[in-house]
A and B are shown apart, each in its own frame.
Chain A
Amino acid sequence: MAVAEQRRKQVRDRVRVWKRQFVETNKFPYLLLIPLLLVWGIFFLYPILWAFWLSANSYTFVGSTFVGLENFVTFFTSGDLQLLLYNTFVIGGIAVPLQTVLPLVLAVLINSKLTKQNMTSFFQILFLTPHVVAFTVIAMIFLIILQSNGVLNLMLQNLAGIQVNWVNTKFPAQVSVAFVHSWKMIGLFVLIYLAGLQSVPRSLYQAARIDGANRLQQFRYITIPQMAPIIALVMLLSTNRVVKMFDVPWVLTNQGGPGQATTTLIIWLYREAFVNVNLGYAAAGGLVASLLLGIVFYFQMQLGSSR
């Protein structure tokens, strides 16, 4: 009896010592994480869980009714999903290739020995400058250039005799939004490409030159294959940003107009939640979109960590 008792006490002591050691060694990192867990729990985790609850309810600040999957069914059948997909595909179809290809060409030119050495960082800074300007400001500047009696149309009219309603007709508005968004993003992608180009081994180019490859061939057969993961990464980053676009169509094309031609996902979310006060429906749409964005992000992470 006494032996059993003693052994149990021994075990208890050992557990107590182990516990104390555990607390002693891990106390500090856990303490450091308290602020993060507080802000994350209150301002991220709780709202996300709340979003799931909202999506199953018809909710307008004052009251709620449980509607099950109705919000999701409406989102899929009312044409909203189709509208958002269509707009995103048209705007993204212009913006993403533009933001992927043009910065690559620019980065290669800037990085090449053909550019004078002292100019490299000058160009890098220059192309990055628009990236620190607010989208709101950018959209406003372009609005004055693109509107029906703006500088661009005056030039087109006087030089070519045509006029395009850049912000008030459907397709031109989508094109404008794609270009204005790209104007800010190009500098960031030039920067990422320039960093990537540093890791392409010089010896490959030397070998190619000995074999008699010209610059275009070097670009085609060395730069592009070597940069493939970074090109894909930029494409995904660009897609991510285009899908989450808000400020440009909000300001440039008058809150997602004309009609709903430039209504992006985020503008739709804002309108449903805060203008139509249809929080449940907005949450349902947002959750569906998050799923799609999550897939894009998954591939982005795979590429980002493979570097």
Chain B
Amino acid sequence: MSDNTPTTQATAERAEPSGGYLRRRLHRYNLRSVLVTGFLLVLSAVFMFPLYFMVVSSSFGVGEFFYFPPKLLPGEHFIDNYATILAESTFPGALFNSIVFAGVTMVGVLVVGTMCGYAFARFEFPGRDLLFYGTIIFTLALPWQLVTIPLFDLLVNLGLVNTRMGGILPLFFYAVPFLIIKQNMEQSIVREIIDSARIDGASEFQIFYHIVLPLAKPGIAAAGLIAFIRRFNSLYWPTIVFQIEELRVATQFIADLSGGGTEPTEWTMVMPAATLQTIPIIIMFLMLRKYFVKGLLTGSVKG
């Protein structure tokens, strides 16, 4: 529904309103435009409310979550709450575990992904399509959670349950970022550059390292960001493989704080923990949003 300005402007000029100053002004700015923007702004405010409430309520005292009318301004327990969560709980360790878990996974995914992405994007070799569909597309069709059942059994047999390695290694296989890197390489790496480097006598490895990787940076950034955020936020797989306190990640810590229906939830701990888990991710998203958007569009439309 694109409104083209010539028509609207013409209408606006023709019907020069009588009436007061405000009305004339509104009309000049196009009343409908103001209404639509205003409607979107109100909706965004509603949409953002839960995040606002998370940050604000992280400074509430025990009972202050359940006031009427609801308390919408910061409370007085900011320092208390954050001191408790940072000094007297296992949350700092859990957050550290999250960063290690998501960070190492991301590095592994990028190593595997840039290699296979280049092979699939810029080489013709027998079995290419079969391998591509078998390893990437086919795996996107299956719910990965089904794979985790026998995978857990495998990890038990290898003695890798409740180890960082057991939790991280299986995630080096992650089809969505592979797909993002491959598609980006198809667009950004021109065959002529590779061919001319070959004629100049560069080895295949030199081409990969000095030409392909620098050119593929945007795709690698997009894939890395998606992989990091998805793993940092995940709960299912950590719940299965990290069953001991020392390895628990931040999402597990937060989920475990809900009393499970039998005990009351400790909200004064939940909200600071949730805030500390979320704010770095949001800052990262805002700084690198161009890559994130790129990754989301390739990653979700094609799989």
The interface of chain A, by Cβ under 8 A from chain B, is 25-26, 28-30, 32-37, 39-40, 42-44, 46-48, 50-51, 54, 59, 61, 106, 108-116, 119, 123, 125-138, 140-145, 149-151, 154-155, 158, 183, 186, 188, 191-192, 195, 202, 205-206, 209, 215, 218-219, 223, 233, 237, 243-244, 246-247, 250-251, 254-255, 257, 265-266, 269-270, 273-274, 279, 282-283, 286-287, 289-290, 293-294, 297-298, 301, 304-305, 307
**Residue pair A269, B135 in contact (C-beta under 8 Å):** no
Residues from chain B with a CB closer than 8 A to the CB of A113 are: 2-5, 33
**Residue pair B258, A32 in contact (C-beta under 8 Å):** no
**Residue pair B146, A290 in contact (C-beta under 8 Å):** yes
> Any chain A CB within 8 A of the CB of B97?
no
**Residue pair A191, B141 in contact (C-beta under 8 Å):** no
Q: B219 to chain A: closest CB distance in Å?
A: 16
**What mask results when residues 231 to 242 of chain B are scored 1 for a CB within 8 Å of chain A, else 0?**
011111001100
Bound CA span A304–B141, Å: 13
**Residue pair A137, B254 in contact (C-beta under 8 Å):** yes
Bound CA span A279–B146, Å: 10
Residues from chain B with a CB closer than 8 A to the CB of A219 are: 1
**What mask results when residues 212 to 248 of chain B are scored 1 for a CB within 8 Å of chain A, else 0?**
0000000000000000010011111001100000000
Q: A3 to chain B: closest CB distance in Å?
A: 34
Q: A258 to chain B: closest CB distance in Å?
A: 9
Chain B interface mostly: helix
Knowing A33-B131, A36-B135, A137-B54, the reply to whether A209 touches B4 (Cβ < 8 A) is yes
Q: B240 to chain A: closest CB distance in Å?
A: 6
Residue from the list B112, B258, B271, B278 in contact with A251, Cβ < 8 A: B258
The interface of chain B, by Cβ under 8 A from chain A, is 1-5, 7, 30, 32-33, 35-37, 39-40, 43-44, 47-48, 50-51, 53-54, 57, 65-68, 70, 111-112, 115-116, 118-119, 123, 125-126, 128, 131, 135, 137, 139-143, 145-154, 156, 169-170, 172-173, 178, 204, 208, 229, 232-236, 239-240, 251, 254-255, 257-258, 260-261, 265, 267, 270-271, 274, 277-278, 281-282, 284-286, 289, 292-293, 296-297, 300-303
